[in-house]
């Protein structure tokens, strides 16, 4: 392990010098694969499993995690494709050598193929956190650089052909990577709906900044009169801009500081989400209102089979219970005075309020503000 870490470090920090060292080494192909390629290829595969099945992704304020079985199958496929890709690329490098005045030498070609993936595999750890995906792209680019300088050092083409050999090798790596990637996508394709059943209806979480002023709406403390019915398009559907009127400028005395509207999915699986953030000094309340025929499946509960629980600790509580036909989920931390209150209505509306330095009652009132009349506006979205 120490040797592997040292090799990775040297290739990343001083690739020119390290390629010269690698050139003089004699290592059996099997030992190179088992001792270097396999551990490196496992890094992004395991990171993906951790990111999607352990950390999960945020949907309408809830953390959604991919099923372990299907996530592991996907990771295993990536792992196998990565190792096979290294072997195939070594064959390709060796075949190209003769055209550039170099002698064919498969062990050397395999070393080029195996060690050039270093940066891409190490950076692949960042896939555990989707927001850091750019790091994986940077790693892939650096791996191409490692290949560009390593291929001529180990394969030894004619001096006048060295640059051309590097260019062709790099282009071949890109082409092979595309083929292997498409093969992996084709293989996993039939199971994609099982691995991520919520993809067709995931509501977005991207805030779109402050909205244009909208008509005042009724507040809990009666600060303003109810607004007129939202404008509709010629087809009778509420316009996207009008959906912003679902959330008021002020809520429970808190001022709205951001708002977002997201429409996704097609006919029969249309999802609408309106989200907003409210502030009052250091106190805040965030609200998500989602309408989707598959929202219950996305957040992991709904229908008659939904489990109920009530857990209390010295620091707070976590509850899920039925109230009539609705399902209510509450979490509260006494020390930080923060938590959330959510209600699933008719298995197709999900309203959640989360906040800090507020009270559970305020979060409950924030959700209650969005009654049947206001939620109906989401059903008429385009």
What's the pLDDT tens digit per position in 9-63? 999 999 999 999 999 999 999 999 999 999 999 998 888 888 777 776 665 555 6
Task: Give the separation between CA 36 and CA 271, rounded to whole angstroms.
Answer: 45
Do 369 and 229 belong together in one domain?
Answer: yes
Domain hosting residue 123, numbered range: 2-195
Element (H, E) at 320: strand 316-323
Q: What pTM did the predictor assign? A: 0.51
Do 125 and 141 belong together in one domain?
Answer: yes
Do 175 and 204 belong together in one domain?
Answer: no
**Considering its fold, how many domains does the chain have in total?**
2
Question: Mean pLDDT of all residues in the chain?
Answer: 79
Do 122 and 262 belong together in one domain?
Answer: no
Do 260 and 353 belong together in one domain?
Answer: yes
pLDDT tens digits for range 257-290:
888 888 776 555 668 888 899 999 888 999 988 8
Do 242 and 355 belong together in one domain?
Answer: yes
User: Binning pLDDT at 50, 70 and 90, where does residue 147 land?
Assistant: very high
User: Binning pLDDT at 50, 70 and 90, where does residue 182 land?
Assistant: low
Do 169 and 223 belong together in one domain?
Answer: no
Query: Of 170, 195, 220, at which residue does a domain stop?
Result: 195
Do 163 and 24 belong together in one domain?
Answer: yes
Task: Give yes or no for residue 115 having a pLDDT over 80.
Answer: yes
φ/ψ of 243, rounded to 5, equals -60, -25
Q: Check the CA dihedral 250-254-259-265 and report its sign.
A: negative
Calculate mean pLDDT across residues 322-338.
Answer: 88
Do 38 and 187 belong together in one domain?
Answer: yes
Do 92 and 205 belong together in one domain?
Answer: no
Query: Of 175, 195, 215, at which residue does a domain stop?
Result: 195
40 Cβ contact partners less than 8 Å away, ≥ 6 residues apart = 8, 117, 118, 121, 122
Task: Give yes or no for residue 128 having a pLDDT over 90.
Answer: no
Do 241 and 159 belong together in one domain?
Answer: no
């Amino acid at each position: 392990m120490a040797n592997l870490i040292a090799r990775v470090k040297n290739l990343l920090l001083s690739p020119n010098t390290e390629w010269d060292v690698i050139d003089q080494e004699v290592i059996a192909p099997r030992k190179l694969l088992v001792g270097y390629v396999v551990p490196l290829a496992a890094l992004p595969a395991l990171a993906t499993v951790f990111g999607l099945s352990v950390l999960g992704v945020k949907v309408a304020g809830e953390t959604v995690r991919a099923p372990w079985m299907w996530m592991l199958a996907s990771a295993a496929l990536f792992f196998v494709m990565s190792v096979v890709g290294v072997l195939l690329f070594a064959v390709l490098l060796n075949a190209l050598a003769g055209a550039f005045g170099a002698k064919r030498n498969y062990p050397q070609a395999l070393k080029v193929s195996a060690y050039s993936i270093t940066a891409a595999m190490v950076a692949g750890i960042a896939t555990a956190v989707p927001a850091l995906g750019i790091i994986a792209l940077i790693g892939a680019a650096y791996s191409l650089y490692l290949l560009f300088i390593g291929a001529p050092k180990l394969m030894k083409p004619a001096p006048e052909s060295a640059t051309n050999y590097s260019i062709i090798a790099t282009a071949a790596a890109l082409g092979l990577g595309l083929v292997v990637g498409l093969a992996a996508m084709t293989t996993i394709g039939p199971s994609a709906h099982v691995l991520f059943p919520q993809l067709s209806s995931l509501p977005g979480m991207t805030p779109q900044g402050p909205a244009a002023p909208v008509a005042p709406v009724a507040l809990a403390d009666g600060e303003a009169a109810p607004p007129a019915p939202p404008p509709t398009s010629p087809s009778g559907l509420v316009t996207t801009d009008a959906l912003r009127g679902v959330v008021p400028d002020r809520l429970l005395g808190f001022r709205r500081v951001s708002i977002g509207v997201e429409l996704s999915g097609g006919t029969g699986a249309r999802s609408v989400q309106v989200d907003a953030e409210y502030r009052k000094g250091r106190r805040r309340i965030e609200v998500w209102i989602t309408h989707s025929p598959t929202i219950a499946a996305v957040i992991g509960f709904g229908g008659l089979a939904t489990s109920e629980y009530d857990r209390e600790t010295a620091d707070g509580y976590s509850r899920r219970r039925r109230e009539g036909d609705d399902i209510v989920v509450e979490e509260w931390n006494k020390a930080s005075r923060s938590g959330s209150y959510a209600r699933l209505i008719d298995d197709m509306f999900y309203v959640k309020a989360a906040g800090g330095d507020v009270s559970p009652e305020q979060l409950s009132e924030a959700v209650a503000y969005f009654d049947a009349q206001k939620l109906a506006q989401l059903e008429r979205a385009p």
